[in-house]
Structure 1
Amino acid sequence: MATAFSSDGEVALRRRLGPVATGAGRRGGLGGFYEMGRAAAFVRGGGFRKVALQFPDELLADAAAVADQMEAQTGAKMYILGDTTYGSCCVDEVAAEHVGAEAVLHYGSACLSPCRKLPVLHIFGQQPLDVGCCAEAFRELYPNRQSHVVVLSDVVYAHAMGELEQLLRPEYPHIIFSRVVCEDPPGPAPHGEVWQFGRQFPVEAPGGLQDYAMFYVGAEGLALTSFMLTWNCCPFSSFNPATGCGRRETLNINRALMRRLYLVERARDARVVGILVGTLGVAGYLDVLQHLQELLRRAGKRSYTLAMGKLNPAKLANFLEVDIFVLVACTQNSLLDSSDFYRPVVTPYELELACNPAREWTGNYLTDFRDLLPGACAHVELPPAVPAAEAIPDISLITGEMRATRICNPPAPQLPPSTTLACRDQTRALTAISPAASFLESRSWRGLEQQLGQTPVSKAVQGPRGIAIAYEDEGRKQP
């Protein structure tokens, strides 16, 4: 039986790779699908000599052909990023800097999070959309021609929104089409406009956004879930171009929010929090790491910062001392379903709800961690510190135990960096100076030990061949 920490070996043995559609067979051919002209103009206009090309897994089959054509058109050296450190929707600036790239061409679906250093051109890939079928599905979902509807789309279908607007605008005077923008607004968003998730659209109804319904063009996924939780006051419907079907979204937003608020209560009970670095390219991630560390320190909780690439349950299960994790990632990857994980994983906003007494639940859910930083639209200052004797008692809704809401202003005493890890003797490398070292000593198994001079030397022998679940010589060894 497969569990959260294993997979069905039979499936792995029988798995075969299916045929991969190449860019030549897509809409507009290789040059049209990947917008070679626009990409070449970007490279030549910036005078870039080294450019990194980032593809998602489903488009890697075209990577070599695209790189060859781009080098022929621009004369610049192209580097294909073979694997991304985190989600493929984010620009992997770290991998690009390894080759000294001066710019990045990001292909495929994107979260449109702003980058820190390198100039980026997003090329989404013009996936086909049956505009007539989509318009017909919209009419069935919204028979009232006076409906106030905002049309959102996955970025890979953004190229077809103009044609869809020409079909629907004469029939629906109150329809609004969002526009994909790859940069943040220069300051606060103008009054009556929404700038979020790389989309911009005006809000004209007297009641604001809550008077609108949302129509999403794209497949079900993380982007749609993030939209629905953030704009939870709006009813959603969608059209899936792959199936050609429209539907009213039946995701129980109240249930989803109740699940997230339950995780907030778990974060209030936690004493040790692991801060997971889920991005190295989104602007402001270092600032929010410092913000979370300070928030946890003033709340009287210990914290560890962990950078481990792509997350899975087995990796996080190594940190048994951690009560809960908080993931710093882009808007699409921050809402991690942690039901299979040994410990829950929350978002920075949920941790703020748990540790900042001045922040209250207003019904507006935030998935962009940059909104929490000082000077941002949703920043809330911590209240003044109070003595421990005057801390307000609170009862955990999960354990029923009493806990105190602590806000500590004076900084905790810090040991000199040189004594954080200290040599104690020949058998024990770490002293109990840090909490992590203390917990490590309490474990019965602490990892592999070298035991130099104690293990006899043996000759190298031929090892088993094949994959671990079915070595080639296993059948011969059995009686």
Structure 2
Amino acid sequence: MTESVPGPFFTTATPTDHIQDEQSPYTGYFESLSENDIHLFFEIEATSEWIRNSNHQRIALQFPDSLLPYSKRVTKLIESKIRDDENPEIVKKTFVLADTTYRSCCVDEVAAAHANCTALVHFGEACHSAPTDKIDVKFVLGNLPPFIDEFRVKLKEMVNELSTDHIVLLMDSCFAHEQEKVAAVIEEIVPPTKKVSCASLPSEENLKEHRKNVYLGREISAALRDNLPADLIFCGFPNSPLLPIWLLSYPSCMTVTHYNPMDKSIQHEKYV
């Protein structure tokens, strides 16, 4: 088997090829998050703890356009939790980054440096297209509500359309916390002869040691690396930029089953 290699445009290791954001795939979905949703989606507690436990005093908070309306509220919540009343001389200050130089999925180290920040919290989808060795970064991908029961029902309607021996699961990052459960449901429904693998969000260790296996912010499965015919199951927004770039890079994905967790719809397309 030959190894699948994405075209040169997509394999660049710098964010300069990501200039100019396209329309956000999240438009219309994040207009009215409740107070509880804000705490969960932006991981306020974990993010605040990361800042409190660091030696950094100037921290950038990078928001994509779709989440920018929440930047003021998120900043206030975080600053209220990182304030050290017992040691008022220790001041940790945050700076909001928006309208960044590159696509919002890229860490904007340049803008952070302009504010003399030594750490950055990146909210939203992250492509990991370039190492972030010059600045400490925490990625907050977001968490939207679970959808397992609805997905199980919809997949059963489409399971006979899956035609290959390999199934690859790909998810928009804000749904990826459900990935293990979704993969288990797929294995439960499809015949046991089919092998299910995940294009997973990479761990910090794998980003450092196995970056060559990370593409578009995902660890590439063996089926894709070996260019094997595969059925792609994608859980994400209807106009997610992740899906078309993925299909251009991995044409061995012969069919796509696209489940939209927001409106509980499912669509199936063949490419051969």
- Per the TM alignment, residue 150 of structure 1 is displaced from its structure 2 partner at its CA by 0.8
User: Higher relative CO (CA 8 A, sep ≥ 6), structure 1 or 2?
Assistant: 2
Q: Secondary structure at the match of 1:89?
A: coil
Q: Are 2:110 and 1:94 equivalent residues in the alignment?
A: yes
Q: 2:154 maps to what in 1? A: 137
Larger radius of gyration: 1
1:18-33 to structure 2, matched below 5 A, reads 21-24=31-34, 28-33=36-41
User: Which of the numbers 209, 214, 218 marks the counterpart of 2:232?
Assistant: 214
> What runs of 5+ residues in structure 2 fail to find an aligned partner?
1-27, 84-91
- Per the TM alignment, residue 106 of structure 1 is displaced from its structure 2 partner at its CA by 0.9
Residues 47 and 24 of structure 1: is their aligned pair in 2 closer, same or farther, counting only changes over 3 Å? Answer: farther
1:272-287 to structure 2, matched below 5 A, reads none
Q: 2:183 maps to what in 1? A: 165
Q: 2:263 maps to what in 1? A: 243
Q: Is the 8 A contact 1:150 1:212 kept in 2?
A: yes
Following the alignment from structure 1 to structure 2, what is the Cα–Cα distance between the partners of residues 149 and 126?
A: 24
Q: Is the 8 A contact 1:176 1:201 kept in 2?
A: no
Q: Secondary structure at the match of 1:249?
A: strand
1:103-182 to structure 2, matched below 5 A, reads 103-114=119-130, 115-143=132-160, 147-172=165-190, 173=192, 174-181=195-202
Structure 1 length-normalised TM: 0.43
Q: Is the 8 A contact 1:152 1:178 kept in 2?
A: yes
Following the alignment from structure 1 to structure 2, what is the Cα–Cα distance between the partners of residues 19 and 145?
A: 33
Following the alignment from structure 2 to structure 1, what is the Cα–Cα distance between the partners of residues 248 and 223?
A: 22
Q: Secondary structure at the match of 1:134?
A: helix
Q: 1:234 maps to what in 2? A: 253
User: Which of the numbers 44, 48, 56 marks the counterpart of 1:48?
Assistant: 56
User: Which of the numbers 196, 201, 204 marks the counterpart of 2:215?
Assistant: 196
Q: Is the 8 A contact 2:230 2:255 kept in 1?
A: no
Q: 1:462 maps to what in 2? A: none
Greater helix share, structure number: 2
User: Which of the numbers 50, 65, 84 marks the counterpart of 1:57?
Assistant: 65
Q: Is the 8 A contact 1:149 1:213 kept in 2?
A: yes
Q: 2:89 maps to what in 1? A: none
Code of the residue aligned with 1:109 in structure 2: it is E
Q: Is the 8 A contact 1:54 1:104 kept in 2?
A: yes
C-alpha distance after superposition, 1:239-263 (max 9, x if no partner): 122332222236x69xxxxxxxxxx
Following the alignment from structure 2 to structure 1, what is the Cα–Cα distance between the partners of residues 29 and 196?
A: 40
Residues 208 and 82 of structure 1: is their aligned pair in 2 closer, same or farther, counting only changes over 3 Å? Answer: closer
Residues 47 and 249 of structure 1: is their aligned pair in 2 closer, same or farther, counting only changes over 3 Å? Answer: farther
Following the alignment from structure 1 to structure 2, what is the Cα–Cα distance between the partners of residues 160 and 203?
A: 21
- Per the TM alignment, residue 235 of structure 1 is displaced from its structure 2 partner at its CA by 1.5
Task: Give aligned pairs, total.
Answer: 228
Following the alignment from structure 1 to structure 2, what is the Cα–Cα distance between the partners of residues 234 and 29?
A: 35
Residues 79 and 244 of structure 1: is their aligned pair in 2 closer, same or farther, counting only changes over 3 Å? Answer: same
Q: Is the 8 A contact 2:129 2:217 kept in 1?
A: yes
Following the alignment from structure 1 to structure 2, what is the Cα–Cα distance between the partners of residues 203 and 176?
A: 8
Structure 2 length-normalised TM: 0.73
- Per the TM alignment, residue 54 of structure 1 is displaced from its structure 2 partner at its CA by 1.0
Q: RMSD between aligned alpha carbons?
A: 2.9
Residues 116 and 185 of structure 1: is their aligned pair in 2 closer, same or farther, counting only changes over 3 Å? Answer: closer
Q: Secondary structure at the match of 2:69?
A: helix
Q: Secondary structure at the match of 1:64?
A: helix
- Per the TM alignment, residue 44 of structure 1 is displaced from its structure 2 partner at its CA by 2.6
- Per the TM alignment, residue 59 of structure 1 is displaced from its structure 2 partner at its CA by 1.4
Following the alignment from structure 1 to structure 2, what is the Cα–Cα distance between the partners of residues 202 and 110?
A: 18
Q: Is the 8 A contact 2:164 2:229 kept in 1?
A: no
